[in-house]
Amino acid sequence: MSLPARVRVTRPPLPLAPALRSAAARLCLTEPLPELPAAALAIAGGAVIGAHLRWAGGAAAAVETGWRGRGIEEALAREVGEGA
């Protein structure tokens, strides 16, 4: 499945920049975020709309409600190496 035209999935450099870290924590309801060895973000129109985070002993993933079911979840999981 291809992603919507305005969406891009990326693996940003770690540690995450403060604005990206805040957006990822908001989506995944994980505050404070532990040290992340892997993270993927979905971005549309300059805003973070999805995140898949992995750390030692845990993981969290979320996509904003209006974007769910469009292949973004699977793309995020692939990007952090968790398959889909």
What CATH number is associated with residue 21?
A: 3.40.630.30
Query: Could you give the maximum distance between any two Cα atoms of the chain, in Å?
Result: 34
Per the domain annotation, does 2 fall within a domain?
A: no
Domain of residue 59 covers 7-79
Backbone angles phi, psi at 28, to 5 degrees: -90, 0
The per-residue pLDDT of the chain, averaged, comes to 91
Taking the model in full, what pTM does it have? Answer: 0.90
Residues 6+ apart with CB under 8 A from 69: none
| Number of domains observed in the structure of the chain | 1
Q: Tell me what pLDDT residue 33 has.
A: 81
Per the domain annotation, does 84 fall within a domain?
A: no
54-75 pLDDT per residue, tens: 998 889 999 999 999 999 999 9
